[in-house]
Structure 1
Amino acid sequence: MSAGRHRNRTNIHVASVAAAVGVLVVTAGGYFGYRQLAAPRCSGSVELAVAVATELAPAVDSAATEWENAGAAVGGTCVEVSVTASEPVGIAATVAAKHGAILPGVGQVSGAAVGPDVWVPDSSAWLLRLKGGGASEFNPGNGASIARSPVVVGVPEPIASQLGWPEQEFTWSALVGQVNNDEPLKAGTVNPTQDAAGLSGLLALSAAAAAGEGGQAATVGALRALSTSSADRRQELLAKFPTSSDPTTMARSLGAAALSEEDLLSYNARNPAVPLAALYPTPAATPLDYPYAVLPGVGSAKAAAARMLFDVLTTASFKDRLASLSLRGPDGTWGAGFSVPEGAPSPAADGASATGDLDLLAVERAVSSWSIATQSGRMLCVIDVSGSMREPVASANGMSRQQVTLDAAGRGLHLFDDSWQIGLWEFSTNLGNGRDYRRLVEIGPLSSQRSELEAALTQIRPTRGDTGLFDTVLAAYEAVQEDWDQGQVNSIVLFTDGKNDDDNGISQQQLVAELERIKDPERPVQVVLIGIGADVSKAELESITKVTGGGSFITEDPTKIGDIFLNAIALRETGS
């Protein structure tokens, strides 16, 4: 993260300001004198901290400086704007920490989280993810777009020419075919959990794959293909493109990646040995829309200053500032000096509004699927087979709770690659040998027992027993801890539709005390509990995960457990 205040510009270059009475260069020492000349009636200061996506920050900074020097004031109080060039993922982590949200792949901030007054990330997807991640009180003001950059597929020009660029029209479905064929186009992405352009490309590619032949298999194939050439930062991904046009280098290098149009134009502006062509596949991917978000709790004076700054950033002249940075105006049109990529559609045809295209469920599925497909882990899956799991689910065409649960587990299993180690248990009460659980498949590598797990899932049936939850949780914890693997995230995922109901088992107090006794910080086991239906006790589940780590998730609609399962796996803490 790099910061630049208007009176100490170390990271953001701003042109000198011409005064109406002549040319006057505003220096650090002369700022306040000039302020008095420009606005003699303003006194004191309202300090507005603005965090802006790095590529947009110079335009915001220079416009804010010009506004200040012209006498920016709120109710007679001078306005001072501090602009910080910030990677959106860093601010998202800070806001998430402040509002109690959890975002897969974003990570945690260290120390106290101090957010800005105004945040301009590169995409509304960040605001949507924060709300979906549990920041229920996060209601930023405004949120209107101040800039735009379509998401394109960057392809080295020699390869793009072979694909028919610039005359050929491209589709995301065709790209899925290129990625998944026998001689695949080597595609990559910036980690979509941390990058909005990567997320937009993943959403478009996943939608095309799911709608085509193969459905989930095509989607998983595309995820795996992208993950082989992924990067955590844009510059790392851009460095994977060919540095020479010789056949060997071209074959070894990255052949396609979703980028913002601004990223691609900035890359080509450095005159690389192999420029990138911008492909605009249909339907258009969700563009970066740079929302102007006034964060909650800023106070009335700062809120008023923020509204005034927004007006400054939506003038016709600001569009020209954007153009110099290879960015478009919020309506998709461009200002003077914009370098239009060859093959770019007209501004009216570059897709619908960004916010209108974003769907929280689709975003959460894409992020979770990516996290699972690109991580590995060691997991014991435990499924409730008590009698109540026979109950039909009205919203699932009469399927039982058991069938809906098994369907979710089976679909999730397809996302895990062969590096995962998975085991399977079922539980109720009195399932033999005095136990409430039955071991169906011991934890082992999917590379050798995927078919065994799939077969075991199809054989699971509800019993007439009750819910031996506490005994089962303790036994599962001990089993995972016993063969704990240092190189993996070791976890338990348990599905249940009821409270503990076992008169012959241990009590809640005994379970918690025993988990406290045996847990080992050197060998952590995360427990994820997924409650189905209205009979589940949230307090009962949380008493367990408070000790073990992990989390509890409850839904009264069993049809939602598939998405909850994906989110729960994606939220596991890595590096344990």
Structure 2
Amino acid sequence: MSGARHRYRRTGPSVRRITALAAIPVLAGALTGGWVFLRGSPAVATCAGTVTLTVAVAPSLADPMEELATAYRDEHPAVFGYCASIQVDAVDSGRAAAYLRGGWSDPGAGEIPDVWVPDSADWLALARTTEPANRLLTDTGQLIATSPVVIAMPRPMAVALGWPGHQLSWADLGKQLAEPGDDDYWAAHGKAAWGGFTIGLPDPRTSTSGLSALTVLVAQALDRPAARLIEKDITDDLTDDLTTDSAILRLERAASLLPGSDASLLATLRGTGLDDPGASRLSAIPLSESLVYQYNAGVGLGARLPDGDGPELVASYPSDGLMLDEIRYVQLSRVSSDPVKSRVAADLLALLRSGRGVAALAGHGFRTVDGAADSLGPETGLAARPQELGRKPVTVPTVMTALQATFVGVHQRTNTLMVLDSSGSMAEPVPASGDRSRLAVALDAAKAALPMFADGSNLGLWRFSSRLHGADDWDELVGLGPVEEQVGGADGADEAGGVPRRQAVIDEMSRIEPRGDTGLYETTLAAFRHLNQHYEEGWPNQVVLLTDGRNSDPGSMSLDELVRTLRREYSPLHPVRIITIGYGEDADLEALARISDATGAQSYPALDPNSIFVVLVGAFTEIPG
């Protein structure tokens, strides 16, 4: 899908612009929760004017909202003498929240709505992080339905694991993310043709299920209940704890599919047969329960999916993080100044809460405000009354924003030059490591982190000590280029029978032998200038430099001269950032901090050499400021 709002069509009335005459609640009926439509009459046929109420809804809610809007049209009422219509637009909730944070001024956002119905109250909390959004969102919203996020699986795969008796948990999913690469997972269950256990992840910037999965899996990595992440402001803990970066990095890299929307993910599923040898099968997908229902029943989003042989989905209700998302009907502040729109908005809310409205929502897989869903059962792949179904606590938006920002940093492909210290001090043993050298520990950590570079990123490798090539203190081991590109060796040239650049970097690391002094300053400037010459527009361009010592090249420039040169040559329009890692207690942390600061980057201390893996993860996933 594109970055703009998404409108769905089907045979019959259009969701893009549904013109429906609004209804007037009879006062007594409205007060008692009832609803009475006024039939059309010659007096009503002539209107003093027209008014349109625009409603932006999550795509999964578009059809029931259309159904209820059609009820207005069929009854032919008027409001205060005006012919009223309702326009329903399907907009991904995360995208709508982003539009609202900017005051709905994005050129691709279209007309600002009068009412917003996201598929989780999380998006309402996230939207309210800017002043423009707070001016528009003065209403806290009225609860109209609920829906939990579940772990969906193709029915045959779930049955092979013991479903419905066995319910997949978030911990099970986390284990698969931590131990990827088993291409024969399903062979152990008698289904070798299915290959490995693969996970799909909807984009957490736009999808409720993607954001929920991100939250729960990060909470598990931090060994905390998911509720503690979203009900208490622990933003500093998230941004300072590199375990968070590592967990999100594994999630993003291990996910076989990262579509831009839930609809794209479901369309992929519908077009994929489990026994198709060329198919990209998905074993598990975090999804809102309502989407599982719509996919299976062929309603809502399910009705708009392409034809295909995709398997039926069933839901696991994870006992370690099952929470009801609240769906709220939110009137924007502009409605209150228009009495006609205010009445239409109130009427639509009353209809949503009426028996007709509850039935329309239930017919698309949504639970009542109390979490009831008696129509769901094993035959639908769902459970009417799952255990441990609690209400999600109030979201702290800064926590969600921090998680999303880290995901953006991880998801972004980078242009990265790794520069490793290979001076003699790197041969010193590391305590509690089995007498392995500093270099060996660092290389093992780098090798473990390198597979997390996604295809499409650029990567290169230098080492440095002193006088490696004449007066030069550095040596290019693998030239900068795409990580998946086949290369033949240290010169980085393409060669038949070569290996992917990612593997070439690992191979060259294994051949490094520590010797010589530390030519830190000259190498830093050379790497900075090299990346400027190989700059990639629109990507983070970064030198990641690791050293365990301090500059010991007597003929090199001074630190002050290096910092002045970096500041003079640094371009905000084409920023190349130098991320430094001070490795061990002998590293010159003050000098490294000044080097990084000159290019607006972070310097990471790794005083305990055994912690170098999480430090490398933090450096690789740093988000440009």
Q: Same fold (TM over 0.5)?
A: yes
Q: How far, CA to CA, are the matches of 1:186 and 1:97 in structure 2?
A: 36
Give 2:391's aligned amino acid: S
Kept in 1: contact 2:56–2:91 (CA 8 A): yes
Structure 1 unmatched ranges of 5 or more: 36-44, 100-107, 384-407, 427-432, 496-500, 536-540, 546-550
Shift of the 425–67 alpha-carbon distance from structure 1 to 2, 3 Å rule, reads: farther
1:172 deviation in Å?
A: 1.9
CA distance in 2, matches of 1:225, 1:342: 29
Indicate which of 145, 148, 152 corresponds to 1:147: 145
**TM-score, with length taken from structure 2:** 0.57
Cα offsets for 1:19-46 (capped at 9, x unmatched): 999984699x9473899xxxxxxxxx6x
**Quick one: distance in 1 between partners of 2:171 and 2:506?**
29
Whether 1:290 aligns to 2:327 is yes
Pick from 206, 218, 223 the counterpart of residue 194 of structure 1. 206
With over 3 angstroms needed to count, the CA separation of the structure-2 counterparts of 1:369 and 1:310, relative to structure 1, is same
Q: State how far apart, in whole Å, the 2-side matches of 1:128 and 1:443 are.
A: 46
Looking at structure 2, the residues matched to 275 and 378 of structure 1 have their Cα atoms a distance apart, in angstroms, of 41
Measured after TM superposition, the shift of residue 348 of structure 1 is 7.3
State the one-letter code of the partner of 1:491. N
Q: Which structure has the greater CA radius of gyration?
A: 2
Determine the C-alpha separation between the residues in 1 that align with 2:103 and 2:620.
Answer: 25
Report the alpha carbon displacement of residue 378 of structure 1 after superposing the two structures with TM.
1.1
Counterpart residue identity of residue 156, structure 2? P
- 1:32 paired to 2:47: yes
Q: Does 1:263 align with 2:291?
A: yes
Which residue identity does 1:120 align to in structure 2?
V
**Counterparts in 2 of 1:412 and 1:323: CA distance versus 1, 3 Å:** same
- SS of the residue aligned with 2:360? helix
Q: Is the Cα contact below 8 Å between 1:93 and 1:109 reproduced in 2? A: no
Q: Which amino acid aligns with 2:413?
A: S
Stretch of structure 1 that moved more, 186-195 or 157-166:
186-195
Q: What letter corresponds to residue 47 of structure 2 in structure 1?
A: F
Change in Cα spacing, 1:527 to 1:71, as seen in structure 2 (3 Å) is farther
Matched, 1:166 2:204: no
CA contact (8 A) 1:14 1:62 kept: no
**Does the alignment pair 1:327 with 2:363?**
no
- Give 2:370's aligned amino acid: D
Code of the aligned partner of 1:279 = S
Determine helix, strand or coil for the equivalent of 1:239: helix
Q: Percent identity?
A: 23
Which piece of structure 1 moves more, 355-364 or 257-266? 355-364
**Kept after mapping to 2: 8 A contact 1:379/1:491:** yes
Change (3 A) 1:511 1:204: closer
Deviation digits for residues 530-568 of structure 1 (CA, Å, limit 9, x no counterpart): 9xxxx9xxxxx99x98xxxxx77999xxxx999996875
Match among 195, 204, 215 for residue 203 of structure 1: 215
Partner of 2:90 in structure 1? Answer: 85
Supply the RMSD in Å over aligned alpha carbons: 6.4
How far apart are residue 164 of structure 1 and its match? 1.2
The 5 A counterparts of 1:324-363 are 324-334=363-373, 342=380, 344-347=382-385, 349=387, 351-356=389-394, 360-361=398-399
**CA–CA distance in 1 between the matches of 2:278 and 2:156?**
9
Q: Distance in 1 between matches of 2:322 and 2:619?
A: 27
1:365 corresponding residue in structure 2: 403
Match of 1:226 in 2: 255
Structure 2: stretches of 5+ with no match in the other structure: 27-35, 186-195, 225-242, 421-444, 464-469, 481-500, 546-557, 581-589, 591-595, 605-613
Q: Distance in 2 between matches of 1:11 and 1:177?
A: 46
CA contact (8 A) 1:491 1:526 kept: yes
Instruction: Note the alpha carbon deviations across 1:175-226, whole angstroms, 9 max, x for none.
Output: 34456445232322223333221222343345446659xx887875554331
**Cα pair distance change 1:266/1:371, threshold 3 Å:** farther
1:121 pairs with 118, 123, 140, which one? Answer: 118
Listed as ranges, the matches of 1:558-573 within 5 Å are 568-569=622-623
Which string of whole-angstrom CA distances, capped at 9 and with x for unpartnered residues, describes residues 501-538 of structure 1? 97657869x956x556xx9x8xx5455899xxxx9xxx
Q: CA deviation at 1:84?
A: 2.4
* CA distance 1:525–1:150, shift in 2 (3 Å): same
Distance in 1, Cα, partners of 2:37 & 2:329: 34
Provide the secondary structure at the position in 2 that maps to 1:231.
coil
**Contact 2:527-2:543 within 8 A present in 1 as well:** no
Q: For the residues of structure 2 that align with 1:115 and 1:338, how far apart are their CA atoms?
A: 36
What is the CA distance between 1:477 and its match in structure 2?
5.1
Contact 1:128/1:360 (<8 A) preserved? no
Name the CA distance, whole Å, in 1 between partners of 2:59 and 2:41: 24
Offset of residue 252 of structure 1: 5.1
Tell me which residue corresponds to 1:400: none
Letter paired with 2:151: V
In 2: Cα distance, 1:235 partner to 1:2 partner: 10
- Please list the CA deviations of residues 303-342 of structure 1 after superposition, one character each: whole Å capped at 9, or x if unmatched: 993984685266343322311222222332248x667765
Give the AA of the match of 2:56: A
Q: Work out which of the residue numbers 52, 55, 70 in structure 2 matches 1:50.
A: 55
Q: What letter matches 2:533 in structure 1?
A: E
- Partner secondary structure for residue 147 of structure 1: strand
Aligned partner of 2:406: which letter?
A: S
SS at match of 1:289: strand
**Shift in Å, 1:159:** 1.6
| SS of alignment partner, residue 253 of structure 1 | coil
Q: Deviations over 1:462-499 (max 9, x none)?
A: 99x9xx9xx9998765321213357x83513789xxxx
* Pair 159,411 (structure 1): closer, same or farther in 2 beyond 3 Å: closer
Amino acid at match of 1:226: A
Q: 1:370 to 1:31 in 2, by over 3 A?
A: farther
Measured at CA, do residues 188 and 9 of structure 1 come closer, stay the same or move farther in structure 2, by a change above 3 Å? closer
Match of 1:492 among 531, 538, 542: 542
How much has 1:124 moved relative to structure 2? Answer: 3.2
